[in-house]
Amino acid sequence: MVIVLFKCPKCHIDIISPIQAIDETYAFANYLPVLMHCAACETPSLLVRCPNSCGIPPEWRCGKFLDMCLRVATVCRRRASETRNWDLQDFFLRMERTWLARARVYDLSQETALVAARNVRLRNTSEPRQIA
């Protein structure tokens, strides 16, 4: 599990959220976007580790939800075709299907954007305590 911090592109509040599903965690580690929602305004964000490594050109990093889903699906398909590793190929094709399925169920007129995340380090709870 990864805990990420990002800023909602619409209402600009900071959001701290875990990425729990294995596929989503793996996607995030492999620079694919992960779908997150703002707790305040429900705006969907496509969260990436690094926008320059996600395979989506800068001019395509925001738009209608449907278009963004199709762009991510295209990236997944391309990444699948570029690898010789069958497990990875299977993973990227699975993610392609996930994004195509999302394109059918969400409110497609909604705007969304790629958002860069930064990892949040979990605070170490075993700090030395002072004993009086």
Q: Which is nearer to Zn ion, 8 or 76 (CB)?
A: 8
Question: What's the CA angle centered on 23, arms 22 and 28, to 5 degrees?
Answer: 100
Encoded tokens for 113? 């954007």
Nearest-approach distance from CB 124 to Zn ion, in angstroms? 30
Q: How many residues belong to the site for Zn ion (CB under 5 A)?
A: 7
In the bound complex, what is the minimum distance in angstroms from residue 95's beta carbon to Zn ion? 25
Interface residue with Zn ion, options 5, 11, 16, 50 (CB under 5 A):
11
The answer to whether 5 touches 28, Cβ cutoff 8 Å, is no
- Cβ 11 to Zn ion shortest distance, Å: 3
Helix, strand, coil distribution of the chain in percent, nearest 5: 40, 25, 35
Residue 16 found at the interface with Zn ion (CB under 5 A): no
Query: Which is nearer to Zn ion, 37 or 94 (by Cβ)?
Result: 37
Binders of Zn ion among residues 36 to 65 (CB under 5 A) are 38, 40-41, 43
Q: Is 33 exposed, middle or buried (0-12, 13-18, 19+ CB in 10 A)?
A: buried
In the block, tokens 């889903």 appear at 69
Residues binding Zn ion (CB under 5 A): 8, 10-11, 38, 40-41, 43
